[in-house]
Structure 1
Amino acid sequence: MGIFDRFKSNRQAQDKAGGMSDAAERKVNEKTGDKYESQVDDAQQRIERQAGMDRDKPDQP
């Protein structure tokens, strides 16, 4: 089992990473004056999807 497999099964770690991802997105948007907001949002969603953090997916038991 690889590190990403363990991450995908650990909801608490995903929640923490999601919070950090949101904070990073806000910081980048703040620094750029929201000029690249849509590109930053797309990049954040792509990265989270690759890490298995699909926020639209319901919680798994």
Structure 2
Amino acid sequence: MGALDDLAKKAQGFVEENKDQIQAALKSEQAEDVSDKVLDAVADKIDDVTGGKHSDAIKNARDTADKHVGTE
């Protein structure tokens, strides 16, 4: 378990040291394009699986997730 703890601490340190760059990458136009495609595909698949019974809730969840990634 020690090696796993060390790896987690290193990852946490990396994120902390690079948080501004990570945040900038998440708010980039490229991230927006990729996230839109992924979120649309996931939402469409979930809507298909649920037979369209929860379309509004799925759209709202997709839109909420989209606000946290990319530029729009």
TM-score by length of 1: 0.73
What residue ranges of structure 2 are gaps of 5+ in the alignment?
1-19
| Aligned pairs, number | 53
Identity, in percent, stands at: 25
RMSD: 1.5
Greater RCO structure (CA 8 Å; 6+ sep) = 2
What residue ranges of structure 1 are gaps of 5+ in the alignment?
55-61
Larger radius of gyration: 2
Bigger shift: residues 16-25 or 45-54: 45-54
Q: 1:17-39 CA deviation, whole Å, 9 max, x = no partner?
A: 11010000000000000000000
